[in-house]
Amino acid sequence: MVGRTHGVHAEPTTFGLKAALWHAEAGRNLERLRRAKEAVRVGKISGAVGTFAHVDPDVEEEVCRELGLVPEPVSTQVVQRDRHAEFVGALALLAASLEKIALEIRNLQRTEVLEAEEPFAEGQTGSSAMPHKRNPVGAEQVCGLARLVRANALAALEDVALWHERDISHSSVERVILPDSTSLVDYMLHQMDRILAGLQVYPARMRENLDRTHGLIFSQRVLLALTERGLPRQRAYELVQRNAMRAWRERRSFHELLAADPDVTATLSPAALGSCFDAAWYLRNVDAVYKRLGLVP
């Protein structure tokens, strides 16, 4: 499929590479979440101001052990809120990564692109009179919910600076942002799981879109092939440019225009020219990425 930068066609890539990117980022988020859960897996029974005036540290240690918590080494009336801010921050980052996947799917599902669609339950809209009208509402929802978790992360950061041995301003905040953020992210994960598990992918359309620029995404390789065969760079550039401009204006095959240009064919054989338009060549190193990620042996 075509790779796009700035929303504009650039060079061939593969859908698998997009998925590998999500996979690697999911791994980073899992690690962040694991650490963030560890950060808040603490308990304290150190009294009104953290001095253990009325309860010995031993009690704290034993109770925490029974609850599967780590005793907070030093506390005030409460466990310090940098821990909770790290936790909600990790959720917000995870939500942002889900937003990225959802945004990709929304972009791929645009009528003009239509390389993928989120799963669509039969009869979901009740209207088959507009079979093209499948809206990526699940992915759009994930994008919206990420904004909420992000906002919550900010409120969590404002909760860190409490007065002295504790003020209770953080409490009303946490009663909203902790249940909201955890349940929102849980829902987003389920939503994204459903979307990815049932994702409709359209390879034929991908191949078709790959040719939307009439082959211009291969122009750099033609340029290189010409210069490698001895043409001065300036001259090679002129040849590529005049055919590229014409292909774009007239919506004609760049490959065919070049093949019909004697100035080009004088240097490049049909086979050599044809090999410039081989998308597979661009993808020869993709497997190496999967190997790096441990996705293939």
Catalytic residues, which ones? 6, 127
**CA 169 to CA 231: how far, in whole Å?**
73
- Residue from 8, 121, 197, 204 in contact with a copy of itself (CB under 8 A): 8
Could you say which residues in the range 26-65 bind a copy of itself, by CB under 8 A? 28-29, 32, 35, 39, 46-53, 56-57
Pair 242, 27: CB distance under 8 Å: no
Stretch binding a copy of itself (CB under 8 A), from 192-200, 257-265, 268-276, 279-287: 279-287
Q: Tell me the closest approach of the beta carbon of residue 202 to a copy of itself, in angstroms.
A: 13
- Residue from 66, 68, 111, 204 in contact with a copy of itself (CB under 8 A): 111
196 makes contact with a copy of itself (CB under 8 A): no
Q: Among residues 42, 47, 81, which one has the least CA distance to residue 169?
A: 81
Residue labelled with tokens 């774009």: 248
**CA 59 to CA 220: how far, in whole Å?**
71
What are the helix (H) ranges across the chain?
15-40, 57-67, 82-108, 137-158, 169-197, 203-210, 219-228, 233-250, 254-259, 262-265, 270-276, 279-282, 286-292
- Residue from 63, 69, 70, 148 in contact with a copy of itself (CB under 8 A): 148
- Residue 249 corresponds to which amino acid? R
Q: Among residues 203, 226, 210, 269, which one has the least CA distance to residue 4?
A: 210
Q: Which lies closer to a copy of itself via its Cβ, residue 187 or residue 274?
A: 187
- List, as one string, the DSSP characters of 151-190: HHHHHHHHTS---TT--SHHHHHHHHHHHHHHHHHHHHHH
Q: Which lies closer to a copy of itself via its Cβ, residue 67 or residue 133?
A: 133
- Residue from 161, 201, 260, 296 in contact with a copy of itself (CB under 8 A): 161
- Residue from 192, 225, 240, 264 in contact with a copy of itself (CB under 8 A): 240
Stretch binding a copy of itself (CB under 8 A), from 169-177, 195-203, 256-264, 266-274: 169-177
Q: Tell me the closest approach of the beta carbon of residue 197 to a copy of itself, in angstroms.
A: 21
Stretch binding a copy of itself (CB under 8 A), from 195-203, 241-249, 255-263, 268-276: 241-249
